[in-house]
Amino acid sequence: MSGRSKLAAVLAISALVAAPTATASAAAEPAGPALAKKLAKKVTTEGVNRHLIAFQRLADRNGGNRAALTPGYDASVDYVAGKLRDAGFIVSTPNFSFDIPVNDAETARVDGVNYQAIVMIESPQTPVGGITGPLRVVPEDTTTGCEASDFAGQNFTGSVALIRRGGCTFEQKHLNAFAAGAVAVLVSNNTAGPLKDVTLTNPGKIPTGGISQADGTTLAGKAGASVTVDMRFHTESRTQRNVIAETRTGRKNNVVMAGSHLDSVELGAGINDNGSGSAALLETALQLGSNPKVDNAIRFAWWGAEERGLIGSEEWVRSLTFEQQLDIALYLNFDMVGSPNAAYFIYDGDDSDATGAGPGPFGSAQIEKAFADYFAAKGVPTEGTDFSGRSDYGEFIAQGIPAGGLFTGAEGVKTAAQAAKWGGTAGVAYDPCYHAKCDNLGNIDRVALGRNAGAIAFVTAAYGVSTEDVNGVPPRQKRAEARKSATLMKSASAADHSHAAAS
């Protein structure tokens, strides 16, 4: 973690705190403002879990999911907005419009049989009639298709690569297949059901689609057969809502902002992704209250259509004028904070982990350290994770707004070193139910959920008191002391002049 940032009296951690270990208890209380300490205690696992139960029931009553453009999402918006209005927050549910792909073709045809192949977000389309090539199956292991060496020993030139999901991002798998010469990619699910509503994150090189676990297993037995992949779509415009809530107290030109996405994928209720972040943020807001004693207003956001490409947050940030963007001191993002095989990741604001994504805007390193210091005081070791572009911080960073946040892991695989440090199971995904039907109330590590909820509450409230370390804006008390000091100096100077004149 970064060693450059010191949040002074606001977020400084005692130098006497022992180095964290995997078995350390919540030993020392983090140093910081009284408001932050109080809020971290008030935001309990039980309180957060109640909102998760609500999200599960709303999904169960509305087709089993809370995906954007579904009744389950609308019910989730109404639940969150209603709770916040009852608590006295200034609440809005601004609309945004976006184009959605409507599938015209979604097939992989082998030996006269059609298998469903759903094009991924950011993937190019196939031409009409599809792309034909020999089916090449990447050997399956815990990181199938994640290394270039996985494609050695076979001729992938002109082929359609079949790769099992898991171990790394869909983007990495498809880039490796492209580099090996493949003309299209089929990624098969590693849990029951189809693979849909997933993204390559960045515009793809070759058509890439998802198929079900069962179809992937069947097609793996047809290696070498000719396959025609036809994945095409057109776009239609749709409208959806975000939820924005702000405290009535605090400066409106130096706002602390915290957000999470509210929508799930269509396959399930999305209780970890991202009921966990949404519930922790909601409980933080409710326990903070709409009139806290803060210097800086705190604005909470629950984003829509994140699972369709980060649309809600991007459209909202882009709708702001430059002056309105200047009013945002920083942005905190919470997307999956209760993964069942949890990691304790903090967004790598200073790129000290040097994994390639680069640092965030100035202030991001300080945000990273604020979270790291909190967990260190609690005896919980942490690691940095890239601003990979996979969550709602993206547009804030693009506009120069410092950002940070927490993440307990998705489809990535926990290492042996991480299991020794945090517990859990090595060689298994942080969330084996990521984007799957089984992401339900049974898919939560409530210890991780509680720890992360405490960190969310503490750091959010601490920045409500002061953002000086991030952007140089001092807290009210420090401003008052500076004015008092200036007045005293002015008075002393006037007395000196008067004395000199009398002499």
Domain check: are 298 and 376 in the same one?
yes
Pairing of strands 328-334, 226-241: unpaired
Domain check: are 445 and 301 in the same one?
yes
pLDDT tens, 30-83?
A: 989 999 999 999 999 999 999 999 999 999 999 999 999 999 999 999 999 999
Main-chain dihedrals φ then ψ at residue 28, nearest 5 degrees? -95, 145
Grade residue 476 by pLDDT with cuts at 50, 70 and 90. Answer: confident
Give the Cα separation of 158 and 113 in Å (integer): 21
Residue ending a domain, among 181, 214, 237, is 237
Domain check: are 82 and 109 in the same one?
no
Domain check: are 190 and 63 in the same one?
no
- Is 448 within the bounds of a domain? yes
SS3 135: strand
Residue 495 pLDDT > 90, yes or no?
A: no
Give the model's pLDDT for residue 11: 34
- Is 8 within the bounds of a domain? no
- Is 3 within the bounds of a domain? no
CATH number at residue 169: 3.50.30.30
Give the model's pLDDT for residue 456: 98
- Is 25 within the bounds of a domain? no
Task: Provide the residue range defining the domain that includes 483.
Answer: 474-503
Look at residues 300, 296, 297, 294 and name the one whose alpha carbon lies nearest to residue 281.
Answer: 300
Residue ending a domain, among 237, 254, 283, is 237
pLDDT tens, 334-379?
A: 999 999 999 999 999 999 986 678 899 999 999 999 999 999 999 9
pLDDT tens, 131-145?
A: 999 999 999 998 999
Domain check: are 51 and 190 in the same one?
no
Sheet bearing 95-110, strands edge to edge: 113-116, 95-110, 226-241, 131-137, 160-164, 184-188, 208-211, 118-119
Residue 96 pLDDT > 90, yes or no?
A: yes
Active site members: 306
Residue 501 pLDDT > 90, yes or no?
A: no
Query: Over the chain, what is the mean pLDDT?
Result: 91
Give the model's pLDDT for residue 250: 98
Domain check: are 144 and 276 in the same one?
no
- Is 214 within the bounds of a domain? yes
Residue 397 pLDDT > 70, yes or no?
A: yes
Q: What's the predicted TM-score (pTM) here? A: 0.79
Runs of H (alpha helix) within 64-118:
71-86
Q: Mean pLDDT lowest for which of 15-19, 69-73, 147-151, 286-290? A: 15-19
Number of domains observed in the structure of the chain: 3
Domain check: are 343 and 373 in the same one?
yes
- Is 21 within the bounds of a domain? no
Residue 493 pLDDT > 60, yes or no?
A: yes
Domain check: are 306 and 389 in the same one?
yes
Domain check: are 278 and 409 in the same one?
yes
Give the model's pLDDT for residue 15: 29
- Is 144 within the bounds of a domain? yes
Grade residue 483 by pLDDT with cuts at 50, 70 and 90. Answer: low
CATH number at residue 49: 3.40.630.10
Residue 380 pLDDT > 60, yes or no?
A: yes
Give the Cα separation of 42 and 56 in Å (integer): 23
Domain check: are 233 and 249 in the same one?
no
- Is 17 within the bounds of a domain? no
Domain check: are 460 and 482 in the same one?
no
Grade residue 303 by pLDDT with cuts at 50, 70 and 90. Answer: very high
Give the model's pLDDT for residue 357: 80
Residue 477 pLDDT > 80, yes or no?
A: no
Domain check: are 343 and 484 in the same one?
no
Pairing of strands 208-211, 243-246: unpaired
Residue ending a domain, among 187, 206, 237, is 237
